[in-house]
Amino acid sequence: MRINRERLAAAMVRHDLNGKKLAEKAGISRITMTAVRNGKSCSKETAEKLAAVLGPGIIEKEA
């Protein structure tokens, strides 16, 4: 799955979270968090964990 980088960054600002804090809250590694922030795709499980913290709007709709 893909996370929209712009919406991810905006949601992180709204929630006052940096990459390390978001990774901790979502229960994912900092390495995974960095990869997602850099535009890499991630597993459905990782996307769901991030969406649980930041909201479902960060997940890109599949074509």
pLDDT tens profile 21-63: 999 999 999 999 999 999 999 999 999 999 999 999 999 987 5
The pLDDT of residue 61: 82
59 Ramachandran zone, left/alpha/beta (phi>0; psi -120 to 50) = beta
What pLDDT sits at residue 63? 59
* pTM for this entry: 0.92
Q: What is the pLDDT of residue 27?
A: 98
Other CB atoms closer than 10 Å to residue 63's CB: what's the count?
3
Q: What is the pLDDT of residue 62?
A: 72
The stretch 10-18 carries a mean pLDDT of 97
- CATH numbers and ranges of domains, the chain: 5-54 (1.10.260.40)
